[in-house]
Structure formats: structure tokens, C-alpha cells
Amino acid sequence: MIKTNKLIFIAVCLFLITGSILFTGTYFIFAAENSENNKEEMYDNNPDIQDLKSKIDDNETKIENLKKAAAEYESKINEYRNKSASLKNQLAILDNQILKIELDIKTTQLKIDKVKLEVESMNYKINREEKEIEDQKENLIEYLRLINDYDQRSFLEILILNNSLAEFFSQINQLEDVQDNIKDAVDKLKLLKTAMETQKADKELYKQELETLKAEIEATELKLKQELKAKEILLIETKSSEIEFQNLLIETQQRQGEISNEISNIQEEIKSKILRLEGSGDTPKTTLLTWPLEPPHTITSYFHDPDYPYRHIFEHPAIDIRAAQGTQIKAPAPGYVARAKDAGYGYSYIILIHNNGVSTVYGHVNKIYVKEDTYVKTGDIIGLTGGKPKTLGAGNLSTGPHLHFEVRLNGIPVNPLEYLP
């Protein structure tokens, strides 16, 4: 018995020093299978945790309801997109997109609140587990002290100190109970430690999710401003007149066709010049584009973006890169300046023709620094960005400062992101 007690004493001390516990294979399997269930059982009846769970469930219900409402607005948007292009239909699309985006913002905010509640729940559980671990350690220390006291005495001494054999055997039984209590305390410590490590890992994941949601809500709020501005500009440009809207529609479509025709007509002519430069080794034979603006590269509208405010008027053949008014535009690859159109307060743009049938277009240009039929190298400054309504180069449908950046292959618009690093 004394030898057994000493072995138990040594094993538990090792656990306290190293933070690890020696268990039989059977215990490890049992703990792995049941630790999650036991961990949850520790909090099932806790009123604070139950209150947090109730708030989380309530948020989840609200989120699902908002998603359903947003889907209804999306259905209306698609319905109007399938109708003929008119001022009434375009305004209906913008109104429904604005309402949908407002719901998206509310949904994201509820997700943020939900994640905060999850983190609060994690913190509560971690604090409770840390306290329970300390309590269990104190219990172990007390059990070890009792065993150590017994180990310092011989059986003869214990027998002499007791008044009867009954008391002697009673103390022996108590000692065995203490040993059982030690095993229970060690088991619970293992469970608590596993639970706490899981909670801490979950908390880190929730914190990462929180940062992602914060970035998402900022982007959605920016999109809402863009939609509101698009509606305002559309009403100003058309003077709420269907005739003016149709004129705007024709003008916009003609401009797109004009750019396509210019590229098609000039590309063959410039191709021979590029081939001569390639032959002399002055230009690379593959077109690898760099970003035309310095970072950060925040995209406010994507290629053929389904949420583009004026999609009912024309498909967005570019990406819009957010940029302060007057930001330098850099040539993304060597090429020829095919067009450098200064339209005053209209839509000003630059077209560069590169090799391998690739061309790039830069719209809403505030200032142009290059001349047509000249050669530019990668990184050369070709102009300054614009886009601020009612400024030089902005045109009539710009909602704010940015660069409209197109990539075309043999005159046909392609996704610029497929050509950028």
C-alpha cells in the first residue's frame, strides 16, 4: 500500500510540473470521444451562457429573415433588367439595389453582433475553466498532502494511534477514497484543459471572422453611396425625361462602339511597328500587365459586374479602381498610344496598343500626358485619374473619383484581372 501511494504521489507531481497526465490507453480513447459532450454539459445549465445563446439564436433568425427579403429585391432587379431600357426601369433597378444593399448592411451588422456575442461566450467559458483548473489543482494538492501524511507512518504506527481495528480499517478505506478522488480530479483537469484550449482556438477564429465582416460592411457602405450617387446623377443628366434618357443611352453605346472601332482600325497598323521594335529587341514579346495605379488596388466595380449601377444601359467592360482625383496613371506594359482623347468635361480616355493583340483603355482621365502615335514604356506616366462629377474628363455617368481600366484582346473586352498579378 505504501509503495502504491508513493507511486501515485510521484505520478501526480509529474503532472503538476509538466502539465501532462499519464493515462491508460482506454482512458485516452474515452476522453477523446466524450470530451466535447462533457464540455458542453458543463455550461448547459449556466444562466449567463444560456442568455448569450438565446441572443445568438435571435440574431441568427433576424439574419435569415433579412436574407429572404434581400432575395426578393434581387428578384425584382432581375425582372426590371429583362425589360426594355427606359428611365423608369433604370430608376426601378437603382431603387431596388439601394434597398437590397441597405438590407445587406443590416445583415452584416447583425453578423458582427453575433460574432461579438460568440467571443463574449468564449471569454466567459475560458474564465470559468481557468478558475476551475485552479480549484482542481488546490484539491489535488490537499489530496497529496493527506497521502504524504499517511506515507510518513508505518502500519504499526497507524494501528497504535487508532483505538480499534475498526478505526484502523476505516482510515485505510479513507485512503483508498482519496486515491479515487485524485484520479477524478486528474480526469477533470484533463477535460478542463482540453475545453479551454478549444475555446481559445474558437475565439481566435471568431476574431478573424470579425475583421473580415468589418471590411465587408465598409465595402457595402461604399457600394450604397455609389448607388445613391448613380441615381442622383441619372436624374440630373436626364432631367427626369425619358427622351433625355434615350439620348444618353444612344450616346453611351456609341462611345463604346467608337472605342472598339478605333482599336480595330489602329491595331493592325500599330502591330507592324511593335513587330519592328520586337525585332530590334526594344520591347518584350509577351504582354504581362502591371497595375496602372500604385496600391492599394481597391476595386469598386468588376468586369461585367451584375451590381454595376448602369448595367441596364451597358455591360461594364472594365474594372473600376478607386483612386483620388489626380492620381498618376502608369503604362502597365510597353505600347503605342493609339488614342488620347481630351473631351473637355465629357468622357476623356487613353488607348494603348500592346503586343499579342492586347490593348488597354483608361477612362475618366482628368489630364493626358501623352500624344497619339508615340511609344511608352512600362511605368511611364500617361495621365491623371479623374471621375469626380462635373470635372474635366469625367463624362456624364461617373459617380466619383476612380480609374476605368479596360483590357481588350483583338478589340474584345476581357477581364483585366486575368492579366494582372
pLDDT score recorded for residue 210: 92
Q: Are residues 225 and 323 in the same domain?
A: no
Q: Are residues 27 and 72 in the same domain?
A: yes
Q: Are residues 58 and 115 in the same domain?
A: yes
Look up the CATH number of the domain holding residue 14.
1.10.287
pTM: predicted TM-score of the whole model, two decimal places:
0.68
pLDDT score recorded for residue 361: 96
Q: Are residues 138 and 251 in the same domain?
A: no
Q: Are residues 112 and 222 in the same domain?
A: yes
Q: Are residues 37 and 150 in the same domain?
A: yes
How confident is the prediction along the chain (421 residues), in pLDDT tens digits per residue?
A: 444 444 444 444 433 433 333 333 333 323 333 444 555 555 556 787 788 888 888 989 999 999 999 999 989 888 888 888 899 999 999 999 999 999 999 999 999 999 999 888 888 888 887 888 887 778 777 767 766 666 655 555 555 555 554 554 455 555 566 666 677 777 777 777 787 788 888 888 988 999 999 999 988 998 899 899 999 999 988 889 999 999 888 888 888 788 878 887 787 777 777 776 666 555 555 568 999 999 999 999 999 998 888 877 778 999 999 999 999 999 999 999 999 999 999 999 999 999 888 999 999 999 999 999 899 999 999 999 999 999 999 988 898 999 999 999 988 899 999 999 9
Q: Are residues 292 and 405 in the same domain?
A: yes
pLDDT score recorded for residue 101: 93
Three-class SS string for the chain? CHHHHHHHHHHHHHHHHHCCCCCCHHHHHHHHHHHHHHHHHCCCCCHHHHHHHHHHHHHHHHHHHHHHHHHHHHHHHHHHHCCCCCHHHHHHHHHHHHHHHHHHHHHHHHHHHHHHHHHHHHHHHHHHHHHHHHHHHHHHHHHHHHHHHHHCCCHHHHHHHCCCHHHHHHHHHHHHHHHHHHHHHHHHHHHHHHHHHHHHHHHHHHHHHHHHHHHHHHHHHHHHHHHHHHHHHHHHHHCCCHHHHHHHHHHHHHHHHHHHHHHHHHHHHHHHHHHHHHHCCCCCCCCCCCCCCCCCCCEEECCCCCCCCCCCCCCCCCEEEECCCCCEEECCCCEEEEEEECCCCCECEEEEECCCCEEEEEECEEEECCCCCCEECCCCEEEEEECCCCCCCECCCCCCCEEEEEEEECCEEECHHHCCC
Q: Are residues 203 and 297 in the same domain?
A: no
Domain boundary among the residues 236, 255, 279 is at 236
Q: Are residues 230 and 250 in the same domain?
A: no
Look up the CATH number of the domain holding residue 298.
2.70.70.10
Q: Are residues 70 and 161 in the same domain?
A: yes
Domain boundary among the residues 204, 236, 268 is at 236
pLDDT score recorded for residue 6: 46
pLDDT score recorded for residue 294: 95
Total number of domains constituting the chain: 2
pLDDT score recorded for residue 384: 98
pLDDT score recorded for residue 292: 97
Residues of the domain holding 413: 242-418
Domain boundary among the residues 236, 252, 277 is at 236
Q: How far apart are CA 154 and CA 144, in angstroms?
A: 17
pLDDT score recorded for residue 23: 32
pLDDT score recorded for residue 250: 86
Q: Are residues 214 and 269 in the same domain?
A: no
Q: Are residues 218 and 164 in the same domain?
A: yes
